[in-house]
Amino acid sequence: MSTIEVGGKSVELDEEGYLTDLADWNEEVAAILAEQDKADNPDFELTSNHWEVINFLREYYDEYQIAPAVRVLTKAIGKKLGKDKGNSKYLYELFPDGPAKQACRYAGLPKPTGCI
């Protein structure tokens, strides 16, 4: 386990970088997690398109109590945000480490089932 400092508070992460307590999430946590990923991709920056997916995932989790795998995520985003955003190509452009896996981590959700 590791921790990150957010607003003077230590937030625990599991061995894969997901929050151990979902209640610790806020937008600053997401920004710090994204900043950590810049080591692998220096051009990575959270945009309004990223936040749209992150907020969608949080709403989805609130409703279904599960973090969706990439196929379910793609289909659900397509229904809510339109076909231009509900496709794998678009989502992988936003989250190159895997739309479900990386976006769920930023959204403070558990790792989706079926993700390696």
Active site residues: 115
Half-sphere exposure of 66 (CA within 13 A, CB side): 9
Helix (H, G, I), strand (E, B) or coil at 39: helix
CB 17 within 8 A of CB 45: no
Q: Give me the phi and psi of 65, to 5 degrees please.
A: 60, 35
Distance CA(44)–CA(39), nearest Å, equals 9
Those residues with Cβ within 8 angstroms of residue 101's Cβ, 6 or more apart along the chain or in another chain: 70, 95, 111, 112, 115
